[in-house]
Structure 1
Amino acid sequence: MKLAVAMSGGGDSLASLLRLRDEGHELMALHGQFLPEHDLRASEGLAKSCASFGIPLHLLDLRAEFEARVAAPFAAEYLSGRTPNPCARCNAAMKFGLLLDRALALGAQALATGHFARAGEHPVYGWALGRGADPVKDQSYFLSLVPRQRLMLARFPLAASRKADVRAELSACGQTPPLPVESQEICFVPDDDYRAFLAARHPALPGPGPAQLPDGTRVGKHQGLWRTTIGQRRGLGLSWREPLYVLDKDVERNVLVVAPKEALLAETFRAGEVNLLADHALWPEDVLVQTRYREGARPARVELSGGVLTVRFAEPNVRPAPGQVAAVYDRGGAVLAGAVIV
Structure 2
Amino acid sequence: MSVGVAVSGGADSLLALCLLQEQGYEPEAVHASFAGAADGEARLQEELAGICARRGIPLHCIQMEEEFDRRVIRPFVQAYARGLTPNPCSWCNQRIKFDALVREVRSLGLDMIATGHYARVEQDCPDPPGLYRGTDSGKDQSYFLALVDKRALAASLFPLSAWTKARVREELSRRGLRPVSGEESQEICFIPHNDYREFLAAQDTHLPGPGEVVDSSGRVLGRHQGVHGYTLGQRRGLGIAHSEPLYVLDKDAEANRLIVGPRRELQADSCRVRLDNALVGVSSWPEQVLVQTNYRQGADPARILLEDGWLDVRFDRPRLPATPGQIAAFYSRDGRVLGGGEIMSGARRKSGQGLQ
TM-score category by the smaller chain? over 0.9
Find the aligned partners of 1:6 and 1:132 in 2 and give their Cα distance.
18
TM-aligned CA distance change 1:116 to 1:308, over 3 Å: same
**Contact persistence 2:275–2:339 (CA under 8 A):** no
**Contact persistence 2:129–2:153 (CA under 8 A):** no
Which letter maps to 1:158? L
2:2 corresponds in structure 1 to 2
Find the aligned partners of 1:194 and 1:277 in 2 and give their Cα distance.
32
1:254 corresponds in structure 2 to 256
> What is the CA deviation profile of residues 134-159 of structure 1, one whole-angstrom value per residue up to 9, with x for unaligned ones?
00100000000111111111100000
Shift of 1:59: 0.7
Which letter maps to 1:25? Y
The structure 1 residue matched to 2:51, chosen from 30, 49, 52, is: 49
Shift of 1:203: 7.8
2:347 corresponds in structure 1 to none
2:61 corresponds in structure 1 to 59
Find the aligned partners of 1:68 and 1:274 in 2 and give their Cα distance.
20
SS across alignment from 1:96: helix
Shift of 1:115: 0.3
Residue 230 of structure 2 is aligned to residue 228 of structure 1: yes
Which letter maps to 1:325? I
RMSD: 1.4
> What is the CA deviation profile of residues 106-127 of structure 1, one whole-angstrom value per residue up to 9, with x for unaligned ones?
1111100000000013544433
Greater Cα offset, 156-165 or 243-252: 243-252
1:318 corresponds in structure 2 to 320
SS across alignment from 2:93: helix
SS across alignment from 1:78: helix
2:12 corresponds in structure 1 to 12
Matches within 5 A, 1:1-342: 1-36=1-36, 37=38, 39-202=41-204, 205-342=207-344
Shift of 1:184: 4.4
Q: For structure 2, which runs of at least 5 residues remain unmatched after alignment?
A: 345-356
| Identity value in percent | 49
> What is the CA deviation profile of residues 212-259 of structure 1, one whole-angstrom value per residue up to 9, with x for unaligned ones?
112121111111111011221122112211221112222233221112
Q: For structure 1, which runs of at least 5 residues remain unmatched after alignment?
A: none
Find the aligned partners of 2:186 and 2:290 in 1 and give their Cα distance.
28
Shift of 1:273: 4.2
**Contact persistence 2:288–2:302 (CA under 8 A):** yes
SS across alignment from 1:55: coil
SS across alignment from 1:126: coil
**Contact persistence 1:184–1:192 (CA under 8 A):** no
SS across alignment from 2:258: strand
> What is the CA deviation profile of residues 52-108 of structure 1, one whole-angstrom value per residue up to 9, with x for unaligned ones?
111111111110000000011101101110000000000000000100111011111
Find the aligned partners of 1:251 and 1:207 in 2 and give their Cα distance.
11
**Contact persistence 2:279–2:339 (CA under 8 A):** yes
TM-aligned CA distance change 1:122 to 1:336, over 3 Å: farther
**Contact persistence 1:211–1:220 (CA under 8 A):** yes
Find the aligned partners of 2:125 and 2:209 in 1 and give their Cα distance.
54
TM-score by length of 1: 0.96
SS across alignment from 1:274: strand
Which letter maps to 2:16? S
Shift of 1:207: 2.5
Find the aligned partners of 2:26 and 2:312 in 1 and give their Cα distance.
45
**Contact persistence 1:274–1:309 (CA under 8 A):** no
Shift of 1:45: 0.9
Which letter maps to 2:14? L
Aligned length: 342
Which letter maps to 2:267? L
**Contact persistence 1:274–1:308 (CA under 8 A):** no
Shift of 1:17: 0.3
Shift of 1:178: 1.3
Find the aligned partners of 2:176 and 2:301 in 1 and give their Cα distance.
44
Find the aligned partners of 1:183 and 1:41 in 2 and give their Cα distance.
19
